[in-house]
Amino acid sequence: MVDTSDIRREYGLGELRRSHLDACPHQQFDVWLQQAIKSRKIVDPTAMTLSTVSLDNFPTGRIVLLKRHDHGAFRFFTNYTSDKAEDINFNSNVSLSFAWLELERQVIISGEATRLSPEDNALYFESRPRASQIAAWASFQSANAASREELDERYAACEKEFEGKKIPCPEFWGGYDVTAHSIEFWQGRLGRLHDRFRYTRTELGWDLERINP
């Protein structure tokens, strides 16, 4: 057994007050995201944990990358035959979590995921590195793989097939927009009395409340 009970640190980099927060949670998210990017302390500032629920009602979390954020949604891309896509087909309610631990901050988004149009998928797919485009065709994401050699052979076959050609966006690959119902901002504080604020969408806009840590 590995005992981790004594592993802890204090959080004292800052505080979060209501007066610090923008009236719009999307604006506030943009501020924190830019600070995470510019800090250069965080290796993958756009990495987020996407949590979904399966047909068997088991939750699963995995890391995906935020590819776009605007005042409507948070966007990511995946294979539409993957486990995460199957979960979203069953239950489109998802959670996104950003852990910017070097800044002692977290953001949690709860919302609904909807598929992008084929046009939006193709537009982003064209911007990807060629190796990533080939990998999208070669990987049967979430399906069992007999060996690493099988994956490498399939990649090589796709690479040969598309040699000298523009690689089209696969029909089985694309993105989702997550429209937020609530967005929570967490700032670590000394003594574990952290600052938490949650925005909740209403018919009139966004309600903002401080939440106990």
CATH no. for residue 190?
Answer: 2.30.110.10
In our burial notation (b when 16+ CB lie closer than 10 A, e otherwise), range 155-165 reads: beebbeeeeee
φ and ψ at 60, to 5 degrees?
-140, 135
For the cut 90, the answer to whether the pLDDT of residue 63 exceeds it is: yes
Q: Which two tokens stand for residue 86?
A: 């199957």
Q: Specify if 105 maps to a domain.
A: yes
Sign of CA dihedral 142, 146, 148, 153: negative
Domain of residue 122 covers 18-129+172-211
Which member of 18, 62, 130, 192 is catalytic? 192
Q: Specify if 99 maps to a domain.
A: yes
Q: Specify if 136 maps to a domain.
A: no
pLDDT tens-digit series, residues 115-159: 999 999 999 999 999 999 999 999 999 999 999 999 999 999 999
Q: Which residues contact 177 (CB under 8 A, 6 or more apart)?
A: 72, 73, 74, 75, 113, 114, 116
Q: Rounded to whole angstroms, how far apart are CA atoms 20 and 27?
A: 12
pLDDT tens-digit series, residues 106-126: 999 999 999 999 999 999 999
Q: Active-site residue 198, yes or no?
A: no
Q: Please give the model's pTM, rounded to 2 decimal places.
A: 0.94
Q: Specify if 162 maps to a domain.
A: no
Q: Rounded to whole angstroms, how far apart are CA atoms 189 and 9?
A: 11
Q: Specify if 148 maps to a domain.
A: no
Q: Which residues contact 188 (CB under 8 A, 6 or more apart)?
A: 11, 12, 13, 104, 105, 194
What's the domain count of the chain?
1
Q: Specify if 158 maps to a domain.
A: no
Q: Specify if 144 maps to a domain.
A: no
CB atoms within 10 A of CB 200: 15
Q: Specify if 4 maps to a domain.
A: no
